[in-house]
């Protein structure tokens, strides 16, 4: 079972790329914190869904750290990976890396954990399969 779990975790690791544009930035010309959290939540949702193909809702974020501002006109990569699987919940670790548009410079900008709960048709928690 451990090998199967490890294989499912590896297969569900999700990478997403975006370009940051002016409409996503604040008065400092950097990505809004709330927009960053939405991007992270999206990759977390996809990671959880790919892990076990069930319906999920976000129930919490934990230990989100902003290390570096993400400027306008940069590329970001969001990476989600299963960190823990419970009976009906799953914890996903997510990182955002920022890349300059016209160089190879790449740095980790944000990291955090999101907890998702599997739900049934009535929105009640259900075991993860």
- Per the listing, tokens 């998702």 go with 116
* Domain presence at residue 35: yes
The number of folded domains in the chain is 1
Identify the domain containing residue 32 by its residue range: 2-119
Q: What's the whole-model pTM score?
A: 0.92
- Tens digits of per-residue pLDDT, 73-89? 999 999 999 999 999 99
DSSP 15-63: EEEEE--GGGB-TTSBB-HHHHHHHHHHHHHHHHHHHH--EEEEEEEEE
* Domain presence at residue 57: yes
What's the confidence (pLDDT) of residue 129? 78
What's the confidence (pLDDT) of residue 126? 96
* Domain presence at residue 124: no
* Domain presence at residue 128: no
Residue 112 scores a pLDDT above 90: yes
**Mean pLDDT score, 57-86:** 97
* Residue 3 banded pLDDT, cuts 50, 70, 90: low
- For residue 107, the domain's CATH number is 3.10.129.10
Residue 40 — φ and ψ, nearest 5°? -65, -45
* Domain presence at residue 40: yes
* Domain presence at residue 126: no
């Amino acid at each position: 079972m451990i090998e199967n779990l490890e294989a499912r975790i590896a297969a569900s690791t999700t990478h997403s790329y975006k370009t940051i544009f002016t409409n996503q930035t604040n008065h400092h010309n950097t990505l809004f914190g709330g927009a960053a959290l939405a991007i992270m939540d999206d990759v977390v949702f996809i990671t959880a869904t790919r892990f076990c193909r069930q319906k999920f809702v976000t129930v919490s974020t934990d230990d989100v750290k902003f290390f570096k501002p993400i400027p306008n006109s940069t590329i970001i990569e969001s990476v989600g990976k299963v960190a823990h699987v419970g009976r009906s919940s799953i914890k996903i670790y997510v990182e955002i890396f920022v890349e300059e548009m016209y160089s190879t410079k790449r740095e980790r900008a944000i990291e955090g954990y999101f907890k998702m709960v599997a739900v049934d048709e009535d929105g009640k928690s259900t075991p993860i399969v």
